Amino acid sequence: MNLLAWLPFYPLVSFLILIAFGQRLSWTVASLLSVGSIGLSALSSMVLVSQLASTSDHLMVTELWQWFSFTAPYLETAVPISFGFTLDALSGVMILVVSGVGFLIHAFAAAYMKPDPHFTRFMAYMNLFVVAMLILVLADNLVLLYLGWEGVGLCSFLLIGFWYQDRNNMLAARKAFIVTRVGDTSLAIGLFLLFNTLGDLTIANVNAEAPLLWEVGDNAPYWIALFLLGGAVGKSAQLPLQTWLPDAMAGPTPVSALIHAATMVTAGVYLIARMNGLFILAPEVMNYVAWIGAGTLLLAGVAALAQTDIKRVLAYSTMSQIGYMMLALGAGAWSAGVFHLMTHAFFKALLFLSAGAVILALHHQQNLFKMGGLFKKLPIESTLFSVGLVCLIALPGTSGFFSKEAIIGSLWSSSTAGPTLWWAAIVGALITSIYSCRLFFLAFLGASRVESAVEQNNSNLMVMALSVLAVLSIVGGFIPLDLTTVLPSHATNVSTEPIWLHPLAIATPFIGVAFSWFYFKEYRSKAPVNLIEPTSKWSEFCRKGLGFDGLYQTLLVNPFCFIANLNRKDIFDQLLMFFAWYSKLCHDALSGLQNGQARWFAASIGLAALFLVGVFLL
C-alpha cells in the first residue's frame, strides 16, 4: 500500500493492539502506541500534502479494493463501490487538521488521563475516532464517507460516556447518539435519492455530472441538498439539532477538544463543502444553510452568556463558530468557511486543553464562580488560555481575525446571504467578545474564590501540546490556503458595499471588550466579594440552551413515552412473550424428566421406541 492508503491504518493498528492487550500494557507503551500512531499519520499527511502541490492535477487517488456493487432494475450494469481514498486540496486541509491537531490532543490526553485505571481503553477509542474521521474526509465515494460518518458517531458515544459509572454521563452519551441519528437518517435518505436519480455515488462524478443533468432550481437537487443538510445539521450541532453538544461536556476534556476542534462537529461543514456541486444547484437550500448558521451563532452566543461551567461556555462558543462556517458556506464563500474551520481547530483545541489543565489544577472544579484570580496562581495555563480567547474574539492579527473577517466580508453582497445576515454576523461577533471577557474575568482576574489548594501542573507533555497550539493559533491566519482547484471562487461586489462595512466589523470586538470591562466590573474586582450565580428565570432559561430541551421533551419525548406505554401489550410483544412462555414450558417439561431415576429413563426409551415403531408401521 502507498502512503495515502496507510494514513488511517496507523491509528487503526494501534487501536487493535490497545484493545487486544489492554491492561497488560504499561502507560509508557500504551502512550507510545496511541500518540505515536497519530504522529505517524500527521507526518504522512504533511508529506502527502507537499507531494500534492507538485502534481499537475492536484489530485492523488488510491483504491484498496472493490467493496461491493449496487444493482437496481433501472441500471444496465451493477455500480461498483470501492474502498478508495482521494486526496485533493480540501481533504488535504482536513487530514492536516485531523491528524495534526489530533496528535497534540493525544499527547495532552496521555498525561491528562494517566491516573485513570482504563487508560488504554480510552486511548484506543481516541485512536478509533481519528481513524473514522480520516476515512470520512478521504473517502472517494459517499458510501465510504457514510461509513466514516457513522464511525465518528459511535466513537463519540463511547468517549462521551467513558465514565459511564455516573448516570449523567451515560445519559449525555445516549442523547448525543440519538440526536445525531436523526441527522444521519436524513443523510441516508439523501444518498438514496441521489443514487436513485444519478445512479452513482462517487463524489467526483456526482459533482461533475449534477450540473450537466440538472438546472439551477430543479426539484431533484433541491431535495437531495436539503436531506444532506439535515445530516450536516445533526453532526455539526446546528439548529434544530444542537442540543447534544453542551451535554457532551460530560466526557473527559481531551474528548471535548477532539470533538470540537478536529473531528466530529467539522464533519457537517466538510460534507456541504465537499458536495458544493449539488448545493450550487439549490440556491434556496444555500439560503437555508446561511440562516441556520446565523440563527445558531446568535442562539449559542446568548446561551454562553449565562453559563457557569467553563466547559459549557466553550461548547456554546463552538456551536457559534460552526454557525459562522455554515453562514460562509450558505453565502457561497466556500474557502472562507474551510479557512475558519482550520483556524478554529487551532484555537478551540487550545482553549479546551488549557481549560482542562485549569480544571485539573483545581481538582476537577469547573464552576466559574468558584475560580477567580487564577492568573497569578497558574500563569502558564492562564496565558495560553488568553491566547485562545483573543483568537476567539478575533482581535486583529490573530488567526481568528483573518478567517472571521473573510466570512463577514463575503456576506453583504452575496445573493444567498445579504445585509440582514451580515448584521447577524456582527451581532454574533459582539456577543462572542462579551461572553469571552465574562469568562476571562470570572476565572482569571479578580479575587480568588478557590476553595482548595491549587495543584501546579508538572507535565511537560501537556505544556508542549498547549504551546504548539498557541503558536498555531497566532500564526494560523498566515497559512496559505489555496482551494481554487476544488471549491468555486466567491466574488465580492465591493462597489455596492457601504464604506463603513469593514471598519465596523473590525471595531466590533473592541466594542464588546470595552462594554465588558465596565459591565463586568464586579467580576474583575480584586476586593473580596461574594459573587453569586444569577438565578433569575431569564438566566436559567438561557443556561438551559433557551429551552430547547424542554420543548423537545414536551413535543416529542413525552408523547412518544405515552404512546409506548399505551402500546406496551401490542401484538408483537405478545408474540415474543408467547415464544418465551413456550420455551419455558418445554424447559420445565424436559427438566422434569431428567430426575436421575433409572425407571424414568427406561420408560422414556420404551415409549420412544413404541412411538417410532408405530410411525414406521403406519
Which pLDDT does position 530 carry in this prediction? 74
Which pLDDT does position 596 carry in this prediction? 80
Straight-line distance from the first to the last Cα atom of the chain, in angstroms, rounded to the nearest whole number: 68
User: What is the sign, positive or negative, of the torsion defined by CA atoms of 424, 427, 433, 436?
Assistant: negative
The C-alpha atoms of residue 196 and residue 5 are separated, in whole angstroms, by 30
What burial letters (b/e) apply to 363-379, b meaning 16+ CB within 10 Å?
A: eebbebbbbbbbbebbe
φ and ψ of 334, to 5 deg? -60, -50
Q: Which amino acid is at 398?
A: T
CA 584 to chain centre: 47
pTM of the predicted model, to two decimals? 0.90
Which pLDDT does position 1 carry in this prediction? 63
Which pLDDT does position 475 carry in this prediction? 94
Q: Which amino acid is at 417?
A: A
Which pLDDT does position 170 carry in this prediction? 92
Q: Are 436 and 393 in contact (CB under 8 A)?
A: yes
Residue 436: which residues within 8 A CB-CB, separation 6 or more? 317, 389, 392, 393
The C-alpha atoms of residue 546 and residue 562 are separated, in whole angstroms, by 25
Spans of the chain, pLDDT less than 70 = 1, 491-494, 528-529
